Amino acid sequence: MFIPLTAFDLSMAAVLVLLLALSSWRMQLNITQQLVIAAIRTTVQLLLIGLVLKTVFTHVDIFWVTVICLVMLSVAGWEILSRQHRKLKGWWGFGVSTGSLFVSSFFITVLALMTIIQADPWYHPQYAIPLLGMLLGNTMTGIALGMDRLVQTAWQQRSSIEQRLMLGQTGHQAINEIRKESMRAGMIPIINSMAAAGIVSLPGMMTGQILAGAPPVEAVKYQILIMFLITAGTGFGVISVLWFISRRLFDNRHRLRFDQLLKTVHSK
Amino acid sequence: MKKLLIKELYYHHCGPVNLQINAGDCVAVSGVSGSGKSLLLRALADLDEHRGSISLDDILMTDLPAPEWRKKVALLPAESQWWFDTLGEHFPATDNEMIHYFGFPDNVMSWSVSRLSSGEKQRFALLRLLLNKPDVLLLDEPTANLDNTNTLLFEKLIEDYIKVNSACVIWVSHDAQQLSRICNVHYQIENGQLLRQ
């Protein structure tokens, strides 16, 4: 059984957001403007992507699927970058974040589509795009957290790192503890959500499928698949981004090179 | 023989620096704050970018991996850093003779770093550095946080180390008395130039 939503149904929910905006304005909580803009953005963006997906689903064409996936990938790469306090100079920052998303999310999505889901054809947008979207959305968070932790901690502990270099440690050894800690920071969200899944929280995708009328056990199987893919994607993504940045922080003479970094104002 | 040879060294806004240090030498470097004394030591330890050639026993710095070079040409910064909880974790091996030299008890390696005074940290930083058996010691105001007794112990330890290992030392300090006590060659940095006194 699937109950379609009408415009009226959505307006009911929108009224709740409006009420919240109104009360926060009355209480001078300084969140009204951001709240309204975000609500409008989500409506417009989602309606647009709905229309795009509708068109793409009717014309199954690998070219358009690739274009959409590449757009998603670069926006996610950009999003990671905008969450960093200090980022690599020039195109390195974008290259590192997008590259790590590519090896994690993109590669794993293709692998899952070809060997696990096996739709016909394997790049069928009905599977490819939602799958990539979910992977990007989640690995993005992990990568952004791991990357930010590495660079921030290295910055705060730069004297210790240099002291270790003075004692004859390699750049790799000198930043080892910080790298471990950053790996943890990047992986904690997905480890937590795996541990809490089904008991504390019902994951969104599974809930969506159940709402759409799918048998619960089928929905659960998909959810487990997605969880594993996200975990692998996040893990490999964080590993590659940490490897890359920790190499970039040192030159070939094992000197700490913070001149490779650009300090930016936190926008979010 | 340990011989540190510095030719046409330019670093930051300083240079050219030409200097030869022989085994057994203790070279004093003084100068006003900000004259580039610490930066000179950092360049010699290959921690900052620089131009010119630096060699130890006719082996060029650039021919050795940087970590190898820093084990031979060891820098003791003015303020030491500690990154593990206990003292012992920073030491690959313990040398009881060294620990007793400064009057510390046997169990000192289990002390937590946060309870050490800056003077204690400085003495342990030296012991940690000496475990690498460096040929050249670059000391940046090493006794600034030490009392008189410990300053003299520190100086004696360096003097003995130079003799036993035929090492050489560059000692940066503001303390003219100390420099005249232990150093046999004296330089001053002025306007980015190293001037023999």
The superfamily (CATH) of domain B3-196 is P-loop containing nucleotide triphosphate hydrolases (3.40.50.300)
Question: How far apart are alpha carbons A43 and A63 in whole angstroms?
Answer: 27
Write out chain B residues lying below 8 Å of A159, CB-based. 79, 81
Chain A contacts of B80, Cβ < 8 Å? 163
What is the rounded distance in angstroms from the CA atom of residue A49 to the CA atom of residue A86? 32
Cα–Cα distance, B53 to B41 (Å, whole number): 14
E strand residue ranges, chain B: 3-11, 14-22, 26-30, 51-56, 59-60, 73-76, 136-140, 168-172, 185-190, 193-196
Mutate which of A153, A158, A161, A167 to test chain B, going by most B C-beta atoms within 10 A? A167
Give A33-64 pLDDT, tens digit per residue. 889 999 999 999 999 989 998 998 888 899 99
Q: List residues in chain A touching B: CB distance below 8 A.
A: 157, 159-160, 162-170, 177, 253-256
What are the pLDDT tens digits along chain A (268 aa)?
678 889 999 999 999 999 999 999 999 988 898 899 999 999 999 999 899 989 988 888 999 999 999 999 999 999 898 888 888 887 888 899 999 999 889 899 999 999 999 988 999 999 999 999 999 999 999 999 999 999 999 999 999 999 999 999 999 999 999 999 999 999 999 999 999 988 888 888 899 999 999 999 999 999 999 999 999 999 999 999 999 999 999 999 999 998 878 765 544 4
Tell me which residue of B2, B19, B28, B20 sits closest to B182, measured CA to CA: B28
pLDDT per 10-residue tile (average), chain B, 197 residues: 89 92 95 93 96 95 96 96 94 84 90 94 95 95 93 95 94 94 94 90
Tell me which residue has tokens 């630096």: B54
Question: In chain B, which residues have their Cβ closer than 8 Å to the Cβ of A255?
Answer: 46-49, 66
Residue of A nearest to B82 (CA): A160
Q: Do A159 and B81 lie within an 8 Å CB cutoff?
A: yes
Chain A CB contacts of B47 under 8 Å are 162, 165-166, 255-256
Give helix then strand counts, H and E, for chain B. Answer: 6, 10
Nearest CA in chain A to B126: A167
Task: With residue A262 as reference, give the H or E element that holds it.
Answer: strand A261-263
Q: Per the omega criterion (within 30 degrees of 0), is the bond before A215 cis?
A: no
- Shortest CA distance to A150 belongs to which of A106, A229, A85? A85
CA A36 to chain centre: 24
pLDDT in tens, A4-36: 889 999 999 999 999 999 999 999 988 898 899
Handedness of CA A250, A258, B132, B176 (dihedral sign): positive
> What is the domain partition of chain B in residue ranges?
3-196
DSSP state of A113: I
Query: Cβ contact (<8 Å) for B67 and A255?
Result: no
| ipTM of the complex in this document | 0.94
User: Is B83's CB within 8 Å of A159's CB?
Assistant: no
